[in-house]
Structure 1
């Protein structure tokens, strides 16, 4: 191997090593055993349920407080009286889900989709609703909602809210 070819190979190897070192740490991946535990109907507070598929699931009274459910699929699930307090629910898809009397206090629902969801009696005290879509959601008996929270979310003419609260159109 010539001196210039050796130098080029060394330079390429050095660049690859430097790139590998410069790459950020991977995000915490989902925990399959914790997802399976919840799918079996068990509580899992503080669990890593990232991108978990809980669609069509029926479970009541679960404790998922402080859990990471980011990008999870909760579509068409029934999770009445479930505690999502302080949970990470960013980017979840909860289309048509039933979450009556559930607790979302302090939860982050940024960019979540609750299109057509049933949320009667649920508590949203201190929840972050930035970019959340509540089109067609039933929320008339929900508590803890403020106009300030709803101004950062969106809905449609079918969204049902308590009292005189309003939501911007999506």
Structure 2
């Protein structure tokens, strides 16, 4: 009896490992690429480079390892989104909402983030070199101490950022 139970557990484990993991939702990615909102969507490793779509709602979406380079996504809601390891080189995200977003190890090099909200966002390892954040809100010194930038990073008030 114990042997049968053990074999059943092993068989179940092997079956679980053999089942493909859905890493992304191609239909949801295509929807955002067409300029539609998709709150709570699985956009893992999506290619949104060069996308021009303003005012999208991507709150709570999984954008981990996505490419947002050179995109224009003003007034987009990224609140509570998974933006870990995102590449957003030269993107324009003015007045976008990143509150509560996990931006760990993301690259926003040369990004335009004027008026963006970062209240409660995780910026651990985030590269903000050359980013424009002079009118960003919700940024704290504690958040920025976990990120990095360079001499051309523009920050609000007296905030500073460690060099990359």
Fold conserved between structures, TM > 0.5:
yes
1:129 maps to: 123
C-alpha RMSD over aligned residues: 1.8
Give the drift of 1:28.
Answer: 3.6
Q: Paired residue for 2:28?
A: 34
- The residue that corresponds to 2:110 in the other structure is 116
Q: Does 1:92 align with 2:91?
A: no
**SS state at 1:37 partner:** helix
**Correspondence 1:153 to 2:153:** no
Q: Which runs of 4+ in 1 moved over 2 A?
A: 20-28
Distance change >3 Å, CA 132–CA 26, structure 1 → 2: farther
**In structure 2, how many angstroms separate the alpha carbons of the residues matched to 1:24 and 1:89?**
28
Choose 1 or 2 for highest CA Rg. 1
**Secondary structure of residue in 1 paired with 2:135:** coil
2:7 alignment partner in structure 1: none
Which residue is equivalent to 2:3? none
TM-score by length of 2: 0.89
Alpha-carbon distance between aligned partners in 1 of 2:159 and 2:60, rounded to the nearest angstrom: 28
- Name stretches of at least 5 consecutive residues in structure 1 with no aligned partner: 1-16
Question: For structure 2, which runs of at least 5 residues remain unmatched after alignment?
Answer: 1-9
Q: How many residues align?
A: 154
Matches of 2:79 and 2:20 in 1, distance apart?
26
Once the two structures are TM-superposed, the CA of residue 168 in structure 1 deviates from its matched residue by 0.2
Normalising by the residue count of structure 1, what TM-score does the alignment of the two structures yield?
0.86
Residue 44 to residue 163, structure 1, CA distance change in 2 (3 Å): same
For residues 152 and 26 of structure 1, what CA distance do their matches in structure 2 show? 35
